[in-house]
């Protein structure tokens, strides 16, 4: 079982119910609109680049084919960065005007991945950094 944490990168969905905050902020920045932040923006999220997810999935596939020790068959692999940021911090990385909107009911206050099992079993560690990605987007 793989649990992904706020995946961003190529081919993100930029609008609709499945759009991520990174994609929404990226689109709003391109359009010169304020970045919309739900609630007070202090909810914290762990963000993972799609390239890191693909790397982990390839290692899992190899494990399933017996190329690595699979004593851990049926385990849950959390695939995230192991670092989280508040939505306010993410908006600050993008820069520009912010607009606060009503909080969404049922939203978790914090997500933070524990990558220890994936690191131990798969020898996997994420390498992409959210700040670097946003700098690329902003500098275009």
Residue-level pLDDT, tens digit, the chain, 140 residues:
899 999 999 999 999 989 999 999 999 999 999 999 999 999 999 999 999 999 999 988 887 776 655 565 677 899 999 999 999 999 999 999 999 999 989 889 999 999 999 998 889 999 999 999 999 999 98
Q: Do 94 and 25 touch, CB atoms closer than 8 A?
A: yes
Task: Check residue 140 and give its pLDDT.
Answer: 83
Q: What pTM does this model have?
A: 0.90
Task: Check residue 67 and give its pLDDT.
Answer: 61
Q: DSSP state, 13? A: -
Residue 126: partners with Cβ closer than 8 Å, 6 or more residues away: 48, 49, 52, 55, 56, 79, 80, 81, 82, 115
Neighbouring CB atoms inside 10 A of 35's CB total: 24
Task: Check residue 69 and give its pLDDT.
Answer: 58
Of 38, 42, 34, whose CA–CA distance to 21 is shortest?
38
Task: Check residue 34 and give its pLDDT.
Answer: 98
């Amino acid at each position: 079982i793989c649990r992904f944490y706020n995946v961003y990168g190529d081919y993100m969905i930029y609008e609709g119910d499945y759009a991520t905050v990174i994609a929404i902020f990226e689109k709003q920045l391109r359009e010169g609109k304020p970045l919309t932040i739900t609630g007070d923006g202090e909810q914290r999220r762990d963000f993972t680049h799609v390239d890191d997810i693909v790397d982990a999935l390839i290692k899992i596939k190899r494990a399933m084919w017996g190329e690595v020790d699979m004593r851990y068959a049926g385990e849950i692999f959390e695939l995230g960065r192991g670092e989280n940021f508040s939505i306010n911090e993410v908006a600050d990385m993008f820069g520009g005007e912010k607009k606060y909107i009503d909080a969404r009911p049922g939203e978790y206050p914090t997500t933070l991945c524990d990558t220890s099992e994936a690191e131990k079993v798969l020898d996997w560690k994420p390498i992409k950094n959210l700040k670097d990605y946003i700098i690329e987007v902003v500098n275009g």
